[in-house]
């Protein structure tokens, strides 16, 4: 497919994602800003270590309400199309009363990678065990499909992508949340990659849906 056609297709897809988020935002929608920085480095020819710190600002992006530190390892030696990994998250978040609560998460990940019609795609399956201070412990499954399109826009060579992530609580076998993303990846320097995105999240809580709109910026340093 020609670059012009890919550009038209990508813009249409991103507008569709953004419109979906606006249409389903029926509750008191909060605007948020999420920011993360990661260090990624090879520890073996087939192993990579990643350390991430993320901050989330809520209440119209004015107050910190959530942050976590993630230490993870990725193994890519089985096949070119598969990455396996495990992570530990140290999480702090505010509950409904405004008090800070602690959570420990253990995660197992399997990511399928490929290319179809010049579109790079990944499909990540994630199993989380959540050790929570203020709630019962439990298991959660997440699946995220990402499509990265084969063009570079503007002089900054922005590469567009869209993604969808769904959340299921395994203890109750129940759907709990969905995230829709539209964004751009950019190579800022030889060992520095950036990611800027819009994300709409809908979470089901006590039978009601709570929607938020997020602007995010992620940085990854590779060594």
Beta-carbon neighbour count of residue 162 at 10 Å? 19
The per-residue pLDDT for 28 is 53
The total domain count for the chain is 1
The structure tokens 């395994």 sit at 170
Q: Tens digit of pLDDT for each residue in 140-166?
A: 999 999 999 998 888 888 999 999 999
What percentage of residues in the chain have a pLDDT greater than 90?
Answer: 72
Residue 83 domain boundaries = 3-222
Can you give the pTM of this predicted structure?
A: 0.84
Q: CB–CB of 120/102 below 8 Å? A: no
Exposure letters 40-68 (e unless 16+ CB within 10 A, then b): beeeeeeebebebebebbbeeeeeebbbb
Mean pLDDT over each residue of the chain, to the nearest integer: 88
Tell me the Ramachandran region of residue 15: left when phi exceeds 0, alpha when psi lies from -120 to 50, beta otherwise: alpha
The answer for residues whose C-beta is within 8 angstroms of residue 181's C-beta and 6 or more apart is 17, 146, 161, 162, 163, 164, 165, 197, 198, 199
| Rounded distance between C-alpha atoms, residue 52 and residue 71, angstroms | 7
Tokens matching residue 210: 């709570």
The structure tokens 């399956």 sit at 125
Measure the CA angle with vertex 107, ends 14 and 66; round to 5°: 65
Output 147 or 96, whichever has higher pLDDT.
147
The per-residue pLDDT for 11 is 45
The answer for residues whose C-beta is within 8 angstroms of residue 221's C-beta and 6 or more apart is 37, 38, 39, 40, 191, 192
Q: Tens digit of pLDDT for each residue in 167-188?
A: 999 988 788 999 999 999 999 9
CATH number at residue 46: 2.40.160.40
């Amino acid at each position: 497919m020609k670059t012009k056609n890919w550009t038209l297709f990508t813009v249409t897809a991103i507008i569709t994602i953004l419109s979906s988020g606006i249409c389903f935002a029926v509750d008191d929608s909060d605007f948020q800003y999420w920011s993360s920085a990661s260090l990624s480095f090879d520890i073996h020819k087939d192993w990579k270590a990643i350390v991430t710190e993320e901050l989330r600002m809520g209440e119209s992006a004015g107050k910190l309400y959530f942050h976590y530190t993630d230490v993870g390892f990725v193994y890519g030696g089985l096949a070119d199309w598969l990455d396996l990994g495990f992570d530990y998250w140290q999480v702090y978040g505010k509950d409904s009363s405004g008090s800070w609560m602690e959570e420990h998460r253990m995660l197992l990940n399997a990511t399928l990678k490929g290319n179809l019609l010049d579109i790079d795609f990944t499909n990540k399956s994630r199993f989380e065990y959540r050790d929570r201070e203020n709630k019962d412990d439990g298991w959660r499954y997440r699946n995220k499909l990402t499509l990265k399109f084969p063009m570079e826009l503007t002089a900054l060579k922005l590469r567009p992508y869209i993604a969808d992530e769904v959340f299921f609580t395994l203890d109750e076998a129940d759907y709990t949340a969905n995230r829709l993303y539209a964004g751009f990846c950019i190579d800022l320097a030889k060992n520095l990659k950036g990611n800027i995105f819009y994300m709409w999240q809908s979470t089901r809580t006590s039978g009601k849906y709570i929607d938020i709109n997020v602007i995010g910026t992620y940085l990854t340093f590779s060594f």
